Structure 1
Amino acid sequence: MKKKMELSRIKEFATEWGFADVKFLVQWRGYDVYDGILAPEKEGCYIGLPRFILSNDQEIRMTEFPNEYKEIADIVYPREEDDEEEDEYRLET
């Protein structure tokens, strides 16, 4: 059985992308999904497409945007139907 990627390697990868740390979110399609955490002094300074860090026993990589990102974001940050109805109401008024 292959061992999952070591957390230290995942954090090293995240540092190369400008993050201070990572937070495990979910497992998705054989990958561990992490969110990159900015250092407090850099908070709000990340510029670019939103992404998650994916890791399995063979690789560490960023999500492809928009498809992978959106699929994972829907799991991690689900929208409630009420929110969608409110958005539609705002558009109509």
Structure 2
Amino acid sequence: MKSTGIVRRLDELGRITLPIELRRNFDVNERDPLEIFVDDDKIILKKYNPADIFTGEDMDDLIDYKGKKVSRKSIIELAKLAGFEITEA
């Protein structure tokens, strides 16, 4: 892991400010969602990219169904598995 040499303190609400250099380098803008991971004693932040719940692939054509992201491709495959005849447009 590479050190940036930047140290930040948590405020009274547990927040930190990401330096502008990091936000620019990682294309993180105001209000962008960040995903939080834990790896042993490390906290890892990653810019959130929604993915299909079935394949895990990042996709542009995701549909929100009951709070879950599903691609059109997965929906078509599931419909075919369920026995529906699908004509793709």
Q: Does the pair score TM above 0.5?
A: no
Q: TM-score range by the shorter chain?
A: under 0.3
Larger relative contact order, structure 1 or 2 (CA cutoff 8 Å, min sep 6): 1
TM-score (norm 1): 0.27
Higher helix fraction (1 or 2): 1
TM-score (norm 2): 0.28
